[in-house]
Structure 1
Amino acid sequence: MGAEALRLLVVSTPVGALGSGRGGGVELTLASLVAGLLERGHHLTVLAADGSRLPAGCERARLWSCPGVDQPSWQHQRRDSPVVMPAQALLPRLWQRAVGSQAGFDALINLAYDWLPFWLTPQLHTPLLHLVSMGSVAEVMDAVIADVARWDQRRLAFHTRAQADDFELSEAPVLVGNGFDLEAYGFCAAPEPLLGWVGRIAPEKGLEDAARAAALLGRRLAVWGLVEDPAYAAAVEAAVPAGTVDWRGFLPTSELQAELGRCAALLNTPKWNEAFGNVVVEAMACGVPVVAYRRGGPGELVQPGINGLLVPPDDVPALAAAVADAEGLDRQSCRAWVERTCSRAAFAERLERWLLSALGRSPA
């Protein structure tokens, strides 16, 4: 490590306990952030929902937990929805603990895409920083993020430029990407004739497009993810020939990568502006090329002809037509691209530069 060790409190998402899968990509980001910064010599405490467990590689961090009711996710609200706080809500309890403990830390890092922590930013004595986890989905969130940017944009970091471009910023954004423990992903050189799709089973993820593309090709589509919307999942399955969708459930990384690596290609079909696209990188780490819509974070991660192909958003025939060319790409090139750009060590170094800049410190 090239910098003085920092005492950091990482406040997790108020949607689900760590390890449940309900927090989506934030859980993976938290694991990479905590493990990577621990490896660089910093001291971390994680504050999360009751029932949470620290991911592998994060065992040296402290874990604090709070009881409470999950916060409604903004990605399932209307753009003009107001801020909602359920009775016995987890979100204010997390931040009551964080605010009360702030004196013991050099900085607080918020991973939740919620109004309250952004609003609190100028109120705290200890610097509160935000790794913004989504693009623009609600007017009230756009406004509070813009307020923080005007007050001190150093407090904000984003995963990709496509995500940052959603917001009203006063200067060039800090982009940190994301990071992965690449030892947890095995390379598979000899796949099966199987297409894959990974994500929460919810409308904004666009599973129906991947299923339709697989049906056009007469191929089986393996689907991994937490079923957030059972009615939507049933409608997707009913719209394609029986046997097209092969439901594999939500799996921890160790099990997911072993199955995902056997896919000939991954289809990525979000209907919204994904902030990053963790599953895209997870597939590439296994050697699986990706066919994705040219939208949001995946549109920056997929390098056409190297690790996958991009097609116009919502164009299912184009999605299906690109599969054959994607399957012909060098799978080792997919893995090599991830090793160059998305390792956990590289992510931690980018995070450290952001933290030190926001705190007005310099590396030793």
Structure 2
Amino acid sequence: MKLLFVSTPVGPLGSGLGGGVELSLYNIAKEVMRRGHDLQIVAPAGSTWDDLPIMQISGSLQIIAQSLERETPIAMPSNPVLANMWDYVRQVESEYDLIVNFAYDWLPFYLTPFLKIPVAHFVSMASLSDALDLIIVQTSKQFPGTIGFYTSAQAATFPELTFPIYYLSSGIDLSLYQFCGKPKQQFAWLGRISPEKGLEDALAVAKSTNIPLKVMGKIQDESYWQKIQQVYSNAPFEYLGFLSTKEMQQVVRQCQALIMTPRWVEAFGNVAIEALACGVPVISYSRGGPASIIKHGETGFLVEPDSVTGLIEATKRLDRINRQTCRDTAQKVFSLEALGERFEKWFVDILNFQV
């Protein structure tokens, strides 16, 4: 197949501004190329992935959907990179078999009926916008089978979708993550630093247990970050920045657990499978994607959403988790090979249906 991937317009690839969808796009791209498919990626200028074929498009970045209200009207800045990327797609579409959209934005769905070749939409977030809900549902009805989600929990947040619906999960290059059987007394928290990620709850766990917390990720909301640092100034935590996969896993693998504190419905949670790949159990709120990744009592613990007490209690039971089981689960379910099989089948199904 000749595939054209269109990235998120909220930030250049490699910047961390796109959150988990960046890692998903990277791994899917590497695997489809390994399988012999031709690939071109369209992404905002400034993308740093030199090992992938990227057409860099300039323009103003899109505002992230998480920062907007459900009723906020659809809007784009002047000279929008989102529109510029899709204008490029329209110019070159005849050279490809399938367009794959990774942007959680209204425009790609709206443009789908006007394009000459099929578009696969990989929806990277749960429902956040009434306008997006409507056009995603409309697209699923007009073009059945072209909508893919990470998990059923994510898809359930959208009303009246038309089947078939594809649940594609995620996957990682397991060779990049080293197993650690004997961790240090420390926890990890990994993700974009913004209110919906609930970092303050992990800081509360560190304060209560007096166990150091290693914080890693892109600061997306500076005022939020400053506020929670002040509130938890006496908690034992260290901010390590936005790290490369190699640097990040060197820290995570030495931790007793990864703590996940989503205040919203996470579509998936790539950080969870990255931790499992290192043999690190995951303690998370039982909300959205993490609930489909973590096997309660086997690879971590799922606790009542927004219960800091539940998180703290779970930290006391970590000795019941076999860290090798965590690694084995990652190898079985979340390998690049398994990821590639799921996406390749989806792409083939779309092309066969169109014929």
Q: Partner residue of 2:142? A: 151
Q: SS of the residue aligned with 2:166? A: coil
Q: How does 1:167-186 map to 2 (within 5 A)?
A: 167=158, 168-186=160-178
Q: Partner residue of 1:140? A: 131
Task: Provide the rounded CA distance (Å) in 2 between the counterparts of 1:22 and 1:256.
Answer: 16
Q: Partner residue of 1:21? A: 16
Task: Answer whether contact 2:203 2:235 (CA < 8 A) is retained.
Answer: no
Q: How does 1:1-364 map to 2 (within 5 A)?
A: 6-54=1-49, 59=51, 61-167=52-158, 168-360=160-352
State the percentage of identical aligned residues: 40
Instruction: Report the AA paired with residue 202 of structure 2.
Output: A
Q: Mind listing any 5+ residue stretches in structure 1 that lack a counterpart?
A: 1-5
Mark the CA change 1:327 to 1:195 in structure 2 (over 3 Å): closer, same or farther. farther
Task: Answer whether contact 1:198 1:223 (CA < 8 A) is retained.
Answer: yes
Task: Provide the rounded CA distance (Å) in 1 between the counterparts of 2:291 and 2:235.
Answer: 30
1:5-37 deviation digits (Å, cap 9, x = unpaired): x00000011111111111111110111110111
Task: Provide the rounded CA distance (Å) in 2 between the counterparts of 1:157 and 1:202.
Answer: 26
Q: Partner residue of 1:3? A: none
1:64-85 deviation digits (Å, cap 9, x = unpaired): 1110110001111001001111
Task: Provide the rounded CA distance (Å) in 2 between the counterparts of 1:42 and 1:232.
Answer: 43
Out of 214-223 and 286-295, give the one that drifted further: 214-223
Task: Provide the rounded CA distance (Å) in 2 between the counterparts of 1:240 and 1:317.
Answer: 16
Task: Provide the rounded CA distance (Å) in 1 between the counterparts of 2:233 and 2:22.
Answer: 34
Task: Provide the rounded CA distance (Å) in 2 between the counterparts of 1:346 and 1:151.
Answer: 29
1:92-150 deviation digits (Å, cap 9, x = unpaired): 00000011110000000000000000111111111111110000001001001001011
Alignment RMSD, CA only? 1.3
1:164-203 deviation digits (Å, cap 9, x = unpaired): 1111312252111011000011111111100110001000
Task: Answer whether contact 1:149 1:170 (CA < 8 A) is retained.
Answer: yes
Instruction: Report the AA paired with residue 198 of structure 2.
Output: G
Structure 1 stretches (4+) deviating beyond 6 angstroms?
A: none
Task: Answer whether contact 1:289 1:327 (CA < 8 A) is retained.
Answer: no
Instruction: Report the AA paired with residue 23 of structure 1.
Output: G
Instruction: Report the AA paired with residue 175 of structure 1.
Output: Y
Deviation at 1:239, TM superposition (A): 1.9
TM-score, structure 2 as length reference: 0.97
Deviation at 1:361, TM superposition (A): 6.8
Task: Answer whether contact 2:207 2:234 (CA < 8 A) is retained.
Answer: no
Mark the CA change 1:51 to 1:328 in structure 2 (over 3 Å): closer, same or farther. same
Q: SS of the residue aligned with 1:8? A: strand
Task: Provide the rounded CA distance (Å) in 1 between the counterparts of 2:334 and 2:305.
Answer: 24
Q: SS of the residue aligned with 1:213? A: helix
Mark the CA change 1:361 to 1:39 in structure 2 (over 3 Å): closer, same or farther. farther
TM-score, structure 1 as length reference: 0.95
Q: Mind listing any 5+ residue stretches in structure 2 that lack a counterpart?
A: none
Deviation at 1:160, TM superposition (A): 0.4
Deviation at 1:152, TM superposition (A): 1.6
Out of 321-330 and 90-99, give the one that drifted further: 321-330
Task: Provide the rounded CA distance (Å) in 2 between the counterparts of 1:31 and 1:136.
Answer: 23
